[in-house]
Chain A
Amino acid sequence: MVDVLYFAWVRERIGLPRETLATNAATVTDLIAELSAREERYALAFSDLKSLRVALDQKLSSFDAPLSGVREVAFFPPMTGG
C-alpha cells in the first residue's frame, strides 16, 4: 500500500488531498499511467508532466524513479515559496 498525496491545482483537479492505494506500479510513470486510466480527472491532472513534480517519501524525485519500498508519493506543481 502506498499513500498518494496531491497539492495545489493537482489536488483541486483530482478532488482529494490524499488516498491510499494498492498498486503494483514499478515506477512513478507506471503509477501515473495506472491512475490516468482509472478516471478522467486523473488523466486531466497528469496530462502535462512538464508542469508536475513528484516527491517520494518527502524527497523530490524523478518520474522514472522506482517505487519499491516507497510509502508516500506526492504530486504537485512547481513550488512557489519565498
Chain B
Amino acid sequence: MRLSVQEQPFDAGAELNAFTAGVSGAGAVVSFTGIVRDLSGTLRAMEIEHYPGMTQSAISAIMDEAMTRWSLSDALVIHRYGALKPGAQIMMVATASAHRLAAFEAAEFLMDYLKSRAPFWKKEIGLDGAEWVAAKDEDEAALTRW
C-alpha cells in the first residue's frame, strides 16, 4: 500500500506500471486519474489546500478499510496540493485484486471517500476572481451506498 500527498506533478503512466509490476498474484488492476478541468474556459489555476497532519491519517484509514473489505492485493493513492493548471493531474487511485469486480468497487469506494472525507479544499482561480469549490450534496450521498 502506498500513499503520497505531494505538491509536485506525477507521471500516472509510470506510477501505474510500477504499481502493476509490484503486485503478485493479482488478476486485475484498476486505476483512476483526476484532472483539473476548465468547463468555462476561464480557469487560470486550481489551488488545493490541505490539512497536513490529518490528510495522511484520514486517507490511510480509508485505504486500510478498502484493503480489508475487498481483500485487495495492493492499493495506491497519490494526491497533489498547491496550484495546478487546467489539464494537470490532481490525483490517482489504483487497486489490485484477484478479480476485476473487487478492484473496480474498491477504486470507486476510495474515490467516493477521498471526495468528502479527505481534508482537501479546492479553490478555482478564474480570469475574474477566485472561488472556493462547494461540496456537492450528491458527493455526500454517494457514501451511503457503501
Contact = CB atoms under 8 A, between A and B. Distances in A.
A72 B51 CA distance: 12
B81 to A, nearest CB: 10
Given A77-B121, A80-B135, A58 B116 contact: no
A8 B115 contact: no
A7 B132 contact: no
B118 interface: yes
Nearest to A11: B49
A55 B51 contact: yes
Contacts of A82: 34, 90-91, 111, 114-115, 118, 120
Given A8-B49, A76-B121, A79-B118, 9 more contacts: A9-B132, A55-B54, A58-B53, A58-B57, A77-B134, A77-B135, A79-B119, A80-B133, A81-B91
B132 A77 contact: yes
Interface in B95-146: 111, 114-123, 132-135, 140
A5 B53 CA distance: 11
Contact of A76 (B51, B115, B122): B51
A75 B137 CA distance: 20
Nearest to B32: A82
A81 B118 contact: yes
Contact of A7 (B90, B116, B121, B133): B121
5 shortest interchain CB distances as A-B pairs? A78-B135, A81-B120, A8-B121, A81-B118, A82-B115
Interface string A14-31: 000000000000000000
Max chain A C-beta neighbours (<10 A), residue from B114, B120, B133: B120
A81 B77 CA distance: 12
B115 to A, nearest CB: 4
